[in-house]
Chains A and B, each alone.
Chain A
C-alpha cells in the first residue's frame, strides 16, 4: 500500500511537470499570448517579470512547484480572479453531471450486460451487443445536438441549456451516459460470460437451483467486482466526455471553462484545470483500488490473488 501511494505521488508529480513543460515550451511568448497583440512593450515586460519568465527554466520550475504547494495557481487575466477560484466555482457542476451519468450508466448497463451475457450468441445477446457497439460509437457532441433536436426542439419536453432543476440535467447526463453505458454493458457481458464457465456455476445448477437463483446469487455477485473496478478505471473516459458535453449544453462546469480558456489563451486556468482533473483521476483510481481490496475477500484476508 505504501508502495502504491509512492507511485501515485510520483505520477501526480509527473503529471504536474508535464503540464508545466507543455505550457512553457509551447511556441510563442506566454506573456504576449496572455495579453494579446495590442499589448505595449512595457506591459509585456511587467508581465514577464511577474510570471518569472525572465528566469531560467529550472528556477521557473522551482517557483512553479513552490506556488503549487501553496495552492497558488496564478491569476486569470481574462476572469480577473485567481485561477483556482475560477476552477473550484465550476467544479461542482461537473461533478454533478458526472455522478448522474455514472448512476445511469451503471444502473442500466449492468442489468443489460447480464441479460446479454446469459446466453452468449443468442438473440438477446446479439441485439444488446450490437446496440452497445453502436452506443460506444456515438460521438458525444453529435449525440448532444440530436438529443436537443428531438427533446428540446421537436417535443419541447426538456430544456436544451441552463441549470437549476433535474430537467436541466437529463439531456447532458444522457449524452454522457449512452457511450459510457455501452462500455459498462460490454464489460459486464464479457465478465458474465467468463463467470458462467466457472465450475461453481455448474455446481449450483447440479444442486437443483433455478436459473434465476444461479444468475442472481452466483453469477451476478461474482461478476460485480471486476465490473465495478473496471468501471472505476474507465471513469477517465467519462470525465473526458464531460468536456464535450458541457460545451454542447452550455453547462457551467470545468469542461466548458477549459474550452473557453483555451480559446481565450488563459493558460493559468488551463493549467489549474489540467491539474485538478489529473488529481481527480488519480484519486478515483486509488479509491477503486481500495474498494477492490475491501470488497474482495481474497485480498482483504491477505491471500495472494
Chain B
C-alpha cells in the first residue's frame, strides 16, 4: 500500500498506458459526478424504506412504485441509494483527509529537508515512530479514543498518514536544495521561506500529486474499514463500510446488500489506483531522464 514502493516501478515507455489513463480519468469523473449529483436523483431520507419491502432482491418493484435496482436491505431501504450516499461520505472524508495530510506532511517534510540538522533528525525519527504501527491499528486506537465524528475521523486519518507526504517531501527537498537555482537564490540573499515557496515547492507538485492520488485511495479504504468495524463515523452517517457490515448478517438470504456497495468501493479504488500508477510512471520517468 505504501506509495514509496510503487514508485520503484520502472518507467518503460509503452503506448498502452495512455488509454488506461483516460479510462481511469473517465471513471474518476463519473465518480465525482455521482458524488455531487446523486442526491438530486436519489434523495435519501432516513424514514424511507418499508419493512414490508425488506430484503427484496435486485430489480424488485417496491410497494411505493419505485424500482430497487440493487435490492433492499433488512430495513427495506434501497441498496443503491445507501451505496451512493455512502460513496459520497467516502469521497468527502478522503478528500478532506488528503488535503489536510498533504498540507501537514509536506510542511514538515520540506522543513526537515531544507533545514537539516536537528530539525531533520527530530522529524525523521517522528516519521520512523509512526511508521512502526500499521496504519489501520493506529487508526483504530485513535478513533476509539476520540469517539465517532466526521472531524475526528479526518484527524485520525491525517494522524496516521501524514508521514507518507512528509517522507516524499523531505526526500525531494533534500535533492532540490542542492540545485543551482536554489543555491543561487540563497547566495542572492533571498529569505528562506521565500526560497521554499518560490523555488522548492513548485517542483514538488509532481511527486506530491502522485502520493496524494495513492493516499486518497488508501483513505477511502481506511474509512470503509473503520466504518465496517463500527468505529469512526457516527451511526447516523451512511457509509459503504457500514452497509457492507450490516449486509453480513443477512449474507445467506440477501447477498446483494454487501456485494454491490463493495463492488462500488473496489471500482472507486481501482480507478484511483490507475490514475496513481500513471502519475508515478510519469514522475519516475521524468526523474530518470534528468
Q: Which residues does A use to contact B, with CB under 8 Å?
A: 7, 10-12, 14-15, 18-19, 22-23, 26-27, 120-121, 126, 133-134, 136-142, 145-146, 148-149, 153, 183, 186-187, 189-191, 193-194, 197, 230, 234, 236-237, 239-241, 243-244, 247-248, 258-259, 262-263, 265, 270, 273-274, 277-278, 281-282
Complex contact A240–B135 (CB within 8 A): yes
Alpha-carbon separation in the docked complex, A261 to B253 (Å): 31
Choose one: B2, B138, B141, B241; the contact of A237 (CB below 8 Å): B2
Complex contact A139–B224 (CB within 8 A): yes
Q: Which residues does B use to contact A, with CB under 8 Å?
A: 1-2, 5-6, 8-10, 12, 14, 16, 125-126, 128-138, 140-147, 217, 221, 224-225, 228-231, 241, 244-245, 247-248, 251-252, 255, 258-259, 262, 265-266, 269-270, 273-274, 277
Q: How far is the CB of B246 from chain A (nearest CB, A)?
A: 11
Q: How far is the CB of B229 from chain A (nearest CB, A)?
A: 6
Q: Which residue of B lies closest to A13 (CB)?
A: B129
Q: How far is the CB of B266 from chain A (nearest CB, A)?
A: 6
Complex contact B137–A146 (CB within 8 A): no
Complex contact A146–B262 (CB within 8 A): yes
Alpha-carbon separation in the docked complex, A139 to B2 (Å): 15
Complex contact A243–B133 (CB within 8 A): no
Q: DSSP majority for the B interface?
A: helix
Complex contact B5–A187 (CB within 8 A): yes
Alpha-carbon separation in the docked complex, A10 to B128 (Å): 10
Complex contact B125–A194 (CB within 8 A): no
A247 / chain B contacts, CB cutoff of 8 Å: 228-229
Q: A14-B125, A270-B144 are in contact. Are A133 and B274 (CB under 8 A)?
A: yes
Q: A126-B16, A148-B251 are in contact. Are A183 and B5 (CB under 8 A)?
A: yes
Alpha-carbon separation in the docked complex, A240 to B2 (Å): 13
Complex contact B241–A141 (CB within 8 A): yes
Alpha-carbon separation in the docked complex, A7 to B5 (Å): 22
B144 / chain A contacts, CB cutoff of 8 Å: 262-263, 265, 270
Complex contact A281–B12 (CB within 8 A): no
Choose one: A18, A133, A237, A263; the contact of B273 (CB below 8 Å): A133
Q: A11-B129, A149-B259, A262-B144 are in contact. Are A244 and B266 (CB under 8 A)?
A: no
Q: DSSP majority for the A interface?
A: helix
A18 / chain B contacts, CB cutoff of 8 Å: 129-130
Alpha-carbon separation in the docked complex, A263 to B232 (Å): 11
A282 / chain B contacts, CB cutoff of 8 Å: 132
Complex contact A141–B225 (CB within 8 A): yes
A136 / chain B contacts, CB cutoff of 8 Å: 1, 273
A234 / chain B contacts, CB cutoff of 8 Å: 2, 5
Alpha-carbon separation in the docked complex, A137 to B267 (Å): 8
Complex contact B145–A22 (CB within 8 A): yes
Alpha-carbon separation in the docked complex, A14 to B128 (Å): 9
Q: A22-B141, A137-B273 are in contact. Are A121 and B132 (CB under 8 A)?
A: no
A248 / chain B contacts, CB cutoff of 8 Å: 248
Complex contact B140–A243 (CB within 8 A): yes
Alpha-carbon separation in the docked complex, A234 to B4 (Å): 11
A137 / chain B contacts, CB cutoff of 8 Å: 217, 266, 269-270, 273
Complex contact B140–A186 (CB within 8 A): no
Q: How far is the CB of B287 from chain A (nearest CB, A)?
A: 15
A237 / chain B contacts, CB cutoff of 8 Å: 1-2, 134
A241 / chain B contacts, CB cutoff of 8 Å: 136
Complex contact B10–A194 (CB within 8 A): yes
Q: Which residue of A lies closest to B224 (CB)?
A: A139
Q: A244-B228, A277-B137 are in contact. Are A190 and B10 (CB under 8 A)?
A: yes
Q: Which residue of B lies closest to A193 (CB)?
A: B10
B129 / chain A contacts, CB cutoff of 8 Å: 11, 14-15, 18
Choose one: B5, B138, B140, B251; the contact of A153 (CB below 8 Å): B251
Q: Which residue of B lies closest to A133 (CB)?
A: B273
Jot down 21 A-B pairs with beta carbons below 8 A, ordered by A. Answer: A11-B128, A14-B126, A18-B130, A23-B145, A120-B12, A137-B217, A137-B270, A139-B269, A141-B241, A141-B244, A183-B1, A186-B6, A187-B5, A236-B131, A237-B1, A237-B134, A243-B134, A244-B229, A259-B229, A273-B137, A274-B138
A22 / chain B contacts, CB cutoff of 8 Å: 141-142, 145
Complex contact A239–B134 (CB within 8 A): yes
Complex contact B10–A270 (CB within 8 A): no
A23 / chain B contacts, CB cutoff of 8 Å: 145
Complex contact A278–B136 (CB within 8 A): no
B146 / chain A contacts, CB cutoff of 8 Å: 26-27
Q: How far is the CB of A36 from chain B (nearest CB, A)?
A: 15
Q: Which residue of B lies closest to A277 (CB)?
A: B137
Alpha-carbon separation in the docked complex, A15 to B273 (Å): 31
